[in-house]
Amino acid sequence: MSNPVRNIRILPFWVIITLILLLLQSGDIFAQSPYKGNAWNKVSQLIPGRIECECYDQGGEGVAYHDSDPVNNGSGKLNPANGSFLNEFRMAEGVDISFTKPNEIDNNPFNLVEPQMGRLYVGWTVPGEWINYSVQVKKSGFYSIGLMYTASGDGGIALDLDGKPLTGEMKISSTRNEKEPIAWRQWHHWNKIDSLTVVELKKGQHLLTLKTVSNGNMNYDFLDFKLVKK
């Protein structure tokens, strides 16, 4: 006769083995976890259109972005917390954000393209950092990608779509000017590249990732996606 106490001990062991085998068979334990971020204010940015770089997804470090330090070096720091929208924009998050200012800070004589004042942008960029954007592509087709930026030295960025490379590294030409008498203003010479590249996009919901690849020291105001060919 079998020992009933021993049978009770054996039963859970076989249940566990069966569950492990079922999990292995379904492949679930190896599947990539789904994206846990979501669009800023729950509204995807639209393509064709302008992707505002500071309106990156919600979800925090490692999900919606990777930043090299957890402090927002602009909102709440360079721009002290004072209750104003521009100074405090997303100040609890790691992505570093500031905004264009008058009095010859961002409207200086070394701009290649004049920026509007009071525009929020992502700054203090470092290679290896990335930012996610939930985007809605309204029409399938080929799109040019423009960028409003500053670059204190030649830099490089790349874009991924749905976790796969959309572009290779794209060179961002320096806006440094040796005639600039104010050292910190090398980070405030604005320029706009109308077409960094042309990419094919399919209609629908996508996840766009902006990656800082080389040099950093760039500020990103917005990306413009324009339909160039259906």
Which residues bind to Ca ion, rule: CB under 5 A?
52, 67, 69, 94, 96, 120-121, 221-222
Nearer to Ca ion, 116 or 205 (CB): 116
Nearest distance, CB of residue 221 and Ca ion, angstroms: 4
- Rounded to a whole number of angstroms, the minimum distance from the CB of residue 120 to Ca ion is 5
Name the residue nearer to Ca ion (CB basis): 69 or 114. 69
Residue from 217, 207, 215, 219 nearest 47 by CA: 207
Map 185-199 to HEC letters.
HHHHCCEEEEEEEEE
**Nearest approach, Cβ of 148 to Ca ion (angstroms)?**
7
Question: Residue 228: what are its φ and ψ, rounded to 5°?
Answer: -110, -25
**What is the nearest approach in angstroms of Ca ion to the Cβ of residue 20?**
42
Q: How far is the CB of 152 from Ca ion (least distance, A)?
A: 17
In terms of CB distance, is 63 or 141 closer to Ca ion? 63
Please identify, using beta-carbon distances, which residue of 57 and 221 lies nearer to Ca ion: 221
- For the bound state, the minimum distance from the C-beta of residue 54 to Ca ion, rounded and expressed in Å, comes to 5
Q: Which is nearer to Ca ion, 94 or 216 (CB)?
A: 94
Q: Are 79 and 86 within 8 A, CB to CB?
A: yes
- State which amino acid sits at residue 113: V
Pick the closer one to Ca ion by CB: 121 or 143.
Answer: 121
